Amino acid sequence: MSSPLSISREIANSTFNERQHPAAHDFKTTINLTDLDLFTKGQPLKEFKEMRDQAPVFWHPPMVGDIEPGFWSLTNHADILKVSSDPSTFSSQMGTGTMMTLGREDRRHPKLWRSAIDHMLNLDGSFHLDLRKEHMPFFKPNFISELQSKVSIKVTQLLDEAEKLNEFNLNLCSGWYGANLRTNSVNEEKNLIQEQLKLFKDCNSPCMVFAEVSGSIQGDPNRKLSTRPQMDLEESKKYYEKISEMGKYLEDEGMPLAYHHHMGTVIETEEDTVRLLENTHDSVKLTLDTGHMLFAQGESLKILNDFSERLIHMHCKDIRKSVLEKSLKEDLSFRGAFLEGAFTVPGDGCIDYKPLFDVLKEKNYSGWLVVEAEQDPSKANPFEYAKIGYKYLTGTLKKSNLEVFQN
């Protein structure tokens, strides 16, 4: 076998802040190849054909949060064959492969970063082949079956120990589940949610934050805010029936569905949210996100007054008004808007939480208030901003005479 190679040592100080070659066309793909949900039902063959016909060598923008500029995508067989057989020119090891994400140097973990970079998918030529031969014995059916059993036992053990969160004074307040009920049947979605449902149960989560992501533009830097998906009356009716059935199922499982309206999705605006709540079963509860509601030009106060009985979870996110106005005026992508700084934590934006908390007091709300903000961590240190939000919220809650339970 060839001598060991540390790719990370070779490229540790390399960053690619702009693509090295101009695009030869202005083709815009309708899909986002970095969206893993895109491949859950197989390959997007129709879209690949469109790319192959119009842009066989296509420049794809980066994933959300990447500092690298993106990657080149090939869909022509001859091009793929040429690139695959010429690692000296088209090198994964030197950072031109699609698997390479260097990240900011000051945020690289001293061990985990190198182990992530120095793996087989990033190796060229003989290095890749030699290491692949070493791994082949471990990918036989019998070995995989035995490994699956071992992993299942270990995962079960870890979940059984989830109660140890209490030893560290920690609780799971909830978590995001991105659903595709517009395209999936209810039974298909039930099957897909099982792993997360079991985890949430084992961690004693009070609810599951549920949002429809089919057709969502939230992670696509090429899709403008105005192009978000919408449902007509007929599709909406079918969707309300599906989400109602899903709500009943999760309620029976002891894990209430807390629907999250979200920018870039089919349930985005105040009007969307009101229609959803008015036309679904009471088991469909609400996650109110103050930042997303204001971004969509809605009023959180009205939602709280009208649907307090459905509210079981709340994301306290603030808005920088000037950035919001710019985002709407220029019709930015959602990704572009939050990287510009549209969102921030409570106390650093334009939302007054006192009237909202007064309603929570009046309606006897008892649930989580989550300090939240989608921000570029290179511009807004998450820990520092979390402290700003926590300080503001606890102070405002006291003004509204709301009791804050702390572990």
Eight-state DSSP code of residue 12:
T
Q: What is the pLDDT of residue 94?
A: 65
- Residue 161 confidence (pLDDT): 67
Q: Can you spell out the DSSP letters for 217-282?
A: -TT-TTSBGGG-----HHHHHHHHHHHHHHHHHHHHTT--EEEE--TTSSS-SHHHHHHHHHTS-T
Domain ranges across the chain: 7-136, 171-399
**Alpha helix positions (H), 118-140:** 125-135
Burial class, 12, CB count within 10 angstroms (exposed 0-12 / middle 13-18 / buried 19+):
middle
Round to whole Å and give the CA distance between 260 and 247: 13
- Count other Cβ atoms within 10 Å, centred on residue 10: 15
Measured torsion, CA atoms of residues 84, 86, 88, 94, in degrees rounded to the nearest 10: -20
Going by their DSSP bridges, the two strands 208-212 and 257-260 should be labelled as parallel
Superfamily of domain 171-399: Divalent-metal-dependent TIM barrel enzymes (3.20.20.150)
Q: What pLDDT does 152 receive? A: 84
First-residue to last-residue Cα distance in the chain: 55
Which stretches of 265-381 are DSSP H helices? 270-278, 290-295, 300-307, 321-329, 334-340, 354-362
Q: Is 148 exposed, middle or buried (0-12, 13-18, 19+ CB in 10 A)?
A: exposed
Between the alpha carbon of residue 119 and those of residues 7, 122, 235, the distances in Å are 9, 6, 45
For residue 139, how many other CB atoms are within 10 A of its CB?
A: 10
- pLDDT in single tens digits along all 407 residues of the chain: 444 455 555 555 554 445 566 767 777 777 778 777 778 778 888 888 988 998 898 888 776 555 556 778 899 999 999 988 888 788 766 654 444 455 566 666 666 666 666 677 777 777 788 888 888 887 778 887 788 888 888 877 776 666 666 676 778 899 999 999 999 999 999 999 999 999 899 888 999 999 999 999 988 888 999 999 999 999 999 999 999 999 999 999 999 999 999 999 999 999 999 999 999 999 999 999 999 999 999 999 999 999 999 999 999 999 999 999 999 999 999 989 999 999 999 999 999 999 999 999 999 999 999 999 888 888 899 999 999 999 999 999 999 999 887 65
Q: Per-residue pLDDT tens for 262-304?
A: 999 999 999 999 999 999 999 999 999 999 999 999 999 999 9
